[in-house]
Amino acid sequence: MPRPRLATALTLSILAWSAGAALAGEAPGPLADARLMQITLPVKDLDRAVAFYQGVLGVRLLFRVPGAAFLDAGGVRLRLERSDTPAPTGAVELYFDDPGLARAKPLADRGVRFVGPPETVQRLAKTDVQLLEFTDPDGNALALMGEVARR
């Protein structure tokens, strides 16, 4: 049974709201064009998490401070913070841009186990936007997301 896609539902809600606001003639908000700089994920074992994100996923380690590590995830800083309290299930899901889901096999070769097969989340004119989910060692939800040519 697929788990709820809070991030997808949230994204769709934001898109619907912004489309409605644009139609109503409202001016964009102060953060409309601001780039997301950092996101924080709680982890129980910081060393294990850094080894996974850096060694398995290949995300570049920027620096460490007591209790946290900072990585560069495609221009967004990912802060892994040591915590005994995990994020609530479904509260955060990180999507990595992966056109064609080409990174799936190299990740599987490095031991990543996907939750299930790719799922189509949007049908475009000539391609499908697909999502391929997996988790980190702390159970944080991760996914590859990309446009895939229809067969």
Domain CATH code at residue 102: 3.10.180.10
Please tell me the predicted confidence (pLDDT) of residue 6: 36
Q: Per the structure block, which two tokens stand in for 126?
A: 């000539």
Residue 5, pLDDT score: 40
Token look-up 């915590």 returns 83
76/104 same-domain check: no
Task: Answer yes or no: do 150 and 108 share one domain.
Answer: yes
Q: What is the mean pLDDT of residues 92-117?
A: 95
pLDDT at 92: 83
User: In this structure, is residue 30 part of a structural domain?
Assistant: no
Strand pairing class (141-149; 93-97)? parallel
**Does residue 102 share a domain with residue 78?**
no
Burial of 93 (0-12, 13-18, 19+ CB in 10 A): buried
Q: What is the pLDDT of residues 6-48, one digit of tens each?
A: 344 334 333 444 444 455 567 888 988 898 999 999 999 999 9
The type of residue at 9 is A
Question: Which domain covers residue 111, as residue numbers?
Answer: 93-151
- pLDDT per residue over 121-145, tens digit each? 999 999 999 999 999 999 999 999 9
User: Using CA atoms, how far apart are residues 57 and 20, in angstroms rounded to an integer?
Assistant: 38
Q: H helices within 24-151, ranges in order?
A: 46-50, 104-109
Q: Rounded to two decimals, what is the model's pTM?
A: 0.78
Per-residue confidence band for 87, with pLDDT thresholds at 50, 70 and 90? confident
Instruction: Indicate if 78 and 98 belong to the same structural domain.
Output: no
